[in-house]
Amino acid sequence: MNQQNALSRIPVKQLVKNTQVKNMIANVLHDREPQFATSIVSIVNSNRSLANVDQLSVIQSAMVAATLDLPIDQNLGYVWLVPYKGKAQAQIGYKGYIQLAQRSGQYKAMNAVTVYEGELTSWNPLTEEVVFDPMKRTSDVVIGYIGYFKLLNGFEKTVYWTKEQIEAHRDRFSKAGGNSPWKSDFDAMAKKTVLKDLLTKWGPMSTQMAVAASKDEVDPDPVNIEADETTKDKQAEDLFNQVSELPQESVKEVPKENTQPEQTTAKKANKPASVKAVEKEKKEPVAEKTDDVNEIIKTVPDETPDEEQTELLNHWGEPVNE
């Protein structure tokens, strides 16, 4: 069976009902998990192009917003989920960057504005000193964008990008074509470009700001499994067992730790059964026996096992009666 992304055929509205997916979201959002899951489904329903991409990437992109505690409602402009080459990307809007900067508690003022013809009195590219007068606007023609902030300690910075510079940046870095916010909301994306450049170059970099900059417009890490077309629920469950954010517990190592040569001191009559039990567990994977393993580890000390400990190992595969 070919290796492929199993969730490429599982709709998000089904995926968010999976127990492991719900737990992953709840680990970040706690009691807001149901509302967040509903928001993801709503976004996909309103943007059908997202329904045609890897559905795990939709969840992963939405989780970028969740970890940054930013709303994913596309109408608010904090984070967009954008389809690109069969996957979804999280693109953080300028409002998202402003929100993250405000949380640092180090900014006194911050803004990004559109500059129209006649409003720019002077601009020094070397010192980046800008003289801006909105009262001198002569037309509705956009010529550029200005970003500005001032810190509580008095440091302030202003940057100016011409519209031509913004368009060159868009042409170089925009990936989603007609599905991109660059097409639906050029002005917001231009302000985001200026603010991101301003904050990441000159502003204090909080942990959340650094995460946002590193995750912005980046493809989710690919996850490939052997897809089974007849068991869609099993696909989602198996996939999330392999996602790095979820805990993955192994029981294979326990028999090795408890079958060292010193165990030959146990009674000869019990040895064949013990080896047989261990070999059985190697051949037949047992699901969710972590509690049994932990019970054995607690019961069996580091020294040579006695008869009672060997008996526990012989019945390792059987449920433990509380």
Is the pLDDT score of 306 beyond 70?
A: no
Could you give the dihedral angle defined by the CA atoms of residues 46, 51, 56 and 60, in that order, rounded to the nearest 10 degrees? -30
Q: Phi/psi at 67 (nearest 5 deg)? A: -65, -25
* Cβ atoms of 141 and 116 closer than 8 Å: yes
H helices then E strands: how many in the chain? 14, 9
Q: At what angle do helices 55-67 and 33-46 cross, to 10 degrees?
A: 130
- Phi-psi region at 159: left, alpha or beta (left = phi > 0; alpha = psi -120 to 50): beta
Q: What was the pLDDT predicted at 46?
A: 87
Q: How far apart are CA 217 and CA 61, in angstroms?
A: 9
Closest CA to 193 of 114, 102, 129: 114
Task: State mean pLDDT over 55-59.
Answer: 87
Q: How confident is the model at residue 146 (pLDDT cuts 50, 70, 90)?
A: very high
Question: Which residue would you say has higher pLDDT here, 287 or 163?
Answer: 163
Question: Which residue would you say has higher pLDDT here, 249 or 180?
Answer: 180
What is the CA angle 77-33-99, rounded to 5? 30
Closest CA to 7 of 302, 318, 222: 222
Q: How far apart are CA 224 and CA 243, in angstroms?
A: 10
Task: State mean pLDDT over 8-26.
Answer: 83
Question: Which residue would you say has higher pLDDT here, 12 or 175?
Answer: 12
Task: State mean pLDDT over 245-250.
Answer: 39
Q: What was the pLDDT predicted at 107?
A: 94
**Of the listed ranges 31-35, 92-96, 115-119, 170-174, the one predicted with least confidence:** 170-174
Q: What share of the chain is helix, strand, coil (3-state, %, to 5)?
A: 50, 15, 30
Is the pLDDT score of 109 beyond 80?
A: yes
Is the pLDDT score of 31 beyond 60?
A: yes
| Bridge partners for 151 per DSSP | 107
Closest CA to 297 of 315, 307, 309, 288: 309
Number of Cβ within a 10 Å radius of residue 316: 22
Q: Phi/psi at 31 (nearest 5 deg)? A: -75, -5
* Cβ atoms of 87 and 57 closer than 8 Å: yes
**Of the listed ranges 28-37, 140-149, 170-179, the one predicted with least confidence:** 170-179
Q: How much is the mean pLDDT over the chain?
A: 74
Task: State mean pLDDT over 242-249.
Answer: 39
Q: What was the pLDDT predicted at 260?
A: 46
Q: How confident is the model at residue 225 (pLDDT cuts 50, 70, 90)?
A: very low
Task: State mean pLDDT over 4-24.
Answer: 76
Is the pLDDT score of 261 beyond 50?
A: no
